[in-house]
Amino acid sequence: MRKAGSRVRITAQLIDALSGAHLWADRFDGSLADVFDLQDKVASSVAGVIEPALQAAETVLWSAWPTNDLSAYDLYLRAYEMVWSSGAQISQALGLMEQAIERDPRCGPALAFAALCCHRLLLDGRSNDPVADRRKGADFAKRALEVAGEDPVVLAYAALVLASFGDDIGTMIGLVDRALALNPNYARGWSISGLLRLWAGEPDIAIDHVDVALQLSPRARVGPSLLILGGAHFFSRRFDEAVPKLLLGIQDDPSFPIAYQILAACYAHMGRLDEARAIVAKLRAITPQVMQTHLPFRRPEDRELLLSGLGLAAGEAT
């Protein structure tokens, strides 16, 4: 902390004690007259960045640990790394999560992320048995809620999965609101809240909540934030604003089919059919499922906008 006249600067760093590597750093400037506001700003920012930064550091550490005798939490951490790295690894991540659950049937994070893996398999068109994976995912999510207690991570991800499988969207938003009440600085929780608001047909609220997530943790990947922003603009018919967000979302995770599907539909509705056709070709390189069948969007007009645009794009690509 440094002071100059009536101004104060606070510098904060998060350092790996073993290696000395800097995981995060930031600085905060303010007036001594508003020192309590500055204190709140520092606390909020640090709390928002700690969870994803530490989670990333832990997964890197344990993914390189040279042993096959892993506890439930270690298995969870290895699987967690795969969940965020590539959609192609979701099936393998699910297997590790299931091993963790076998070791500890009440491991809430493993249950919640096993449910998320089932959701991703369906959403990405990678499931070999959609009916079984849907049933299994819902079961994992409900079991996660039974043991969640006041764990905002478990509450938020279980709610996401159950919402995607058709449970009452208002109830699931309520669960995420509870998670955020427990930890208002939970960046991934705000991203999940934005996603559920998008599904509920509230695109402007979705944008606001994703913006909070990005403000809390601007450097860490806290979910498909760019995809949510792009989707929100798409469903609001702001196609010109949707395109750059969706392009960046694809760059962020090239294995996520829904981003290609929304972007192709967006281009089609803009009359840019050559670009729509090119996106569909890229989509077919990662999944045989061009037309989206697992649609969590609650408003009929949203589903129609996506499917009609995607139909135009896919028709042009055949």
pLDDT bin (cut points 50, 70, 90) of residue 315 is confident
* Domain end (from 41, 56, 71): 56
Q: HSE of 151 in the Cβ direction (CA atoms, 13 Å)? A: 18
User: Which residues does residue 28 pair with via DSSP β-bridges, in sequence order?
Assistant: 10
Residue 140: exposure state from Cβ atoms within 10 A (0-12, 13-18, ≥19): buried
Query: Does 32 or 113 have the greater pLDDT score?
Result: 113
Residue 66 has pLDDT above 50, yes or no: no
Residue 170 lies in a domain: no
Q: Would you say residue 102 lies in a domain?
A: no
Please indicate, yes or no, whether the overall pTM of this predicted structure exceeds 0.85: no
Helix (H), strand (E) counts: the chain: 14, 3
Q: Does any domain span residue 8?
A: yes
Contact 265, 314 (CB under 8 A): no
Number of domains in the chain: 2
Token pair of 5, please? Answer: 């006249």
* Each residue's pLDDT tens digit, 164-201: 999 999 999 999 999 999 988 888 999 999 999 999 99
CA–chain centroid gap for 218, Å, is: 14
Instruction: Tell me, yes or no, whether 94 lies in a domain.
Output: no
Domain assignment present for residue 29? The answer is: yes
Last residue of a domain, one of 38, 56, 74: 56
106 domain residue, yes or no: no
How confident is the model over 276-288, as a mean pLDDT?
A: 91
Report the chain's mean pLDDT, rounded to a whole number.
86
The verdict on residue 241 lying in a domain is yes
Per the structure, the complete domain to which residue 295 belongs is given by: 224-318
CATH of the domain at 230: 1.25.40.10
CA–CA separation, 315 and 318 (whole Å):
5
In a domain, 41, yes or no: yes
Q: pLDDT confidence of 38, banded at 50, 70, 90?
A: confident
